[in-house]
Structure 1
Amino acid sequence: MTTSTSTSALFIAFFGATGGCTNACLVHTLNAGFHATALARTPSKLTDMLLAQGLSQSLIDTQLTIVKGDIADIQAIKNVLTNNSATTETPKLASQIISGIGGTPQMRMSLSKPMTIDNPEICATATKNIVQSLQEIYASHPSTAQNRPSITVISTTGVSDVREDVPFGFRTFYHVVLADPHKDKKVMENLVIENASLTGVFRGAVVIRPSLLKGDQNVKSGKGWQKVKVGVEDKPAVGYTIHRADVGQWICEQIVKTGGESHFGQKVTLTC
């Protein structure tokens, strides 16, 4: 396990960091000098991905805590949220949570539901477990509720009930082929918004809705976050694709570095 030099430092909690968008965001976050924690079933896999992105082992050792476990493990989630201080008298909470948890698409022989994912409720389950973990931390240590973290989740276009945000040529693909896995995204979105209020577990919530993702997490392979087109739910940015690396960099620049307050409560569409 990799441990940071100080559990008292301001840190960002990452879930799904071995995924493209979230991994790219973590790379930029660490390069920007932030401390972070991350949940990983196989810590060495995450370390190898970060090394491949050009991060040094010393930077990883001093700025990142990797907690071994999965999103079903409440104690592991608590350790990520508190930088392994969950059982201490005064645990330190992450200031922000970045979650890119998702499943692996799977095709099936069905005209009505041709695509699903290996865990059809993974996004909702992950969010419920993060909420539960925070609730338990607050119950055990009431003072921590004064420093509730914000949360940013990576969702998708094509799930809006307000305005169409998918180009005409992609609508059958999104609304028919991807309809089943998108149900999970909608439940996740509702959960984070419902739990971000004066009495909720989150200080604020941001939903990121990228258009069809392409490429991998390599931060050198995107076009750059400045070229990303940005919209909100009632005035979405409509486009065909966006590189995973660009989504991750945009989240780092506009949410991690700023605190994200200007986007709280928004469902942000990103495309190129």
Structure 2
Amino acid sequence: MTTSTDNSQFIAFFGATGGCTNACLTHTLQAGFQATALARTPSKLTNMLLEQGLSQAVIDSQLTIIKGDIANIAAIKAVLTKNTFGTDHVQVASQIISGVGGTPVLNKSVTKPVTIDNPEICAQATRNIVQALTEIKAHDRPSITVISTTGVSDVKEDVPFWFRFLYHYMLADPHVDKKEMERIVTENSSSTGVFRGSVIIRPSLLVSDQNIKKGKGWKKLRVGTEENPAIGYTVGRQDVGEWIFEQVIKTGGESHFGQRVTITN
């Protein structure tokens, strides 16, 4: 389990300028954990964290921001590793939090009314993280937590009746990417995979932003599993991020390994 007093361990973040992940990163740094993050524009991430109330001193001392994008394997490796004991010893992140996602695009199409600007970004990001870890060949394996969505289960309906048209028709195309991401995560979380464990987060429709001061609080969320989902309409991004911090980062997440966790208000 990672603790805030163990500076040899750190958590790697991908998609850290996204609402859920940014809120999670903010709580992580506030609690004294060490972290790394990938950002196409590091100044944007820094400004978002400052707006969250973090000081520049905390950001400088606890967070390493690597400039790059999720298509850059070298940049991903830099986020996942630290040469803490010299060049002969590579320290790998104890946990990975990935909230990578695309921007919705409306189409004049009956069959695909909504797509995303990069239709394979979630799956591709996960493949690249797997590739990076494979090439690193580290002895220690990190866990991974990814942010997916409700509406992609093959086991049990987890979307309210009045939202099913939106999820199963309007958002069907983007959800293909989420399902593939989940498959890759699960496939690589076996005893021989690059991940020692995985947690898949399936929030209901995300609303609000990453501002942790405006959240309802993680303890007020309803949480379920794929077999017994918590069904609701919306959930705040900042509350999802706080739940991931409290239930995965602070604890190590082992009690949720292998689960698809549904989260809603």
Q: CA deviation at 1:88?
A: 2.8
Q: Measure, in 2, the Cα distance between the counterparts of 1:20 and 1:172.
A: 25
Residue 26 of structure 2 is aligned to residue 21 of structure 1: no
Contact 2:215 2:238 survives alignment (8 Å): yes
The corresponding residue for 1:233 is: 226
Secondary structure of the residue that 1:47 maps to in structure 2? helix
TM-score (norm 2): 0.96
Pair 249,102 (structure 1): closer, same or farther in 2 beyond 3 Å: same
Q: CA deviation at 1:222?
A: 1.0
Residue 247 of structure 2 is aligned to residue 244 of structure 1: no
Q: Measure, in 2, the Cα distance between the counterparts of 1:270 and 1:83.
A: 33
Judge which range, 190-199 or 76-85, deviates more: 76-85
Q: Which runs of 4+ in 1 moved over 3 A?
A: none
Aligned positions, number: 260
The corresponding residue for 2:258 is: 265
Aligned positions of 1:100-119 closer than 5 A = 100-119=99-118
Q: CA deviation at 1:90?
A: 1.3
Q: Measure, in 1, the Cα distance between the counterparts of 2:83 and 2:124.
A: 22
Contact 2:20 2:241 survives alignment (8 Å): yes
TM-score (norm 1): 0.94
Show structure 2 runs of 5+ residues with no match. Answer: 1-5
Secondary structure of the residue that 1:169 maps to in structure 2? helix
Q: Measure, in 1, the Cα distance between the counterparts of 2:123 and 2:82.
A: 23
The corresponding residue for 2:141 is: 148
Q: Measure, in 1, the Cα distance between the counterparts of 2:214 and 2:99.
A: 19
Tell me the percent identity. 71
1:60-81, CA deviations, whole angstroms, 9 ceiling, x for partnerless residues? 0000000000000000000000
Q: Measure, in 2, the Cα distance between the counterparts of 1:69 and 1:83.
A: 17
Secondary structure of the residue that 1:220 maps to in structure 2? helix
Pair 178,62 (structure 1): closer, same or farther in 2 beyond 3 Å: same
Q: CA deviation at 1:161?
A: 0.1
Residue 59 of structure 2 is aligned to residue 60 of structure 1: yes
Secondary structure of the residue that 2:169 maps to in structure 1? helix
Q: CA deviation at 1:8?
A: 6.0
Contact 1:152 1:208 survives alignment (8 Å): yes
The corresponding residue for 1:211 is: 204
Q: Measure, in 2, the Cα distance between the counterparts of 1:254 and 1:9.
A: 21
Q: Measure, in 2, the Cα distance between the counterparts of 1:113 and 1:89.
A: 51
Q: Measure, in 1, the Cα distance between the counterparts of 2:180 and 2:192.
A: 20
Q: Measure, in 1, the Cα distance between the counterparts of 2:82 and 2:180.
A: 28
Residue 185 of structure 2 is aligned to residue 192 of structure 1: yes
Q: CA deviation at 1:84?
A: 6.3
1:217-265, CA deviations, whole angstroms, 9 ceiling, x for partnerless residues? 0001110000010000010000000000000000000000000000000
Aligned positions of 1:135-174 closer than 5 A = 135-138=134-137, 144-145=138-139, 147-174=140-167
The corresponding residue for 1:221 is: 214
The corresponding residue for 1:180 is: 173
Secondary structure of the residue that 2:22 maps to in structure 1? helix
Judge which range, 87-96 or 209-218, deviates more: 87-96
Secondary structure of the residue that 1:125 maps to in structure 2? helix
Contact 1:53 1:219 survives alignment (8 Å): yes
1:100-149, CA deviations, whole angstroms, 9 ceiling, x for partnerless residues? 000000000011110000000000000000000000000xxxxx22x100
Residue 76 of structure 2 is aligned to residue 83 of structure 1: no
Q: Measure, in 1, the Cα distance between the counterparts of 2:23 and 2:142.
A: 21
Secondary structure of the residue that 2:150 maps to in structure 1? coil
Q: CA RMSD in A?
A: 1.4
The corresponding residue for 1:256 is: 249
Q: Measure, in 2, the Cα distance between the counterparts of 1:177 and 1:84.
A: 46
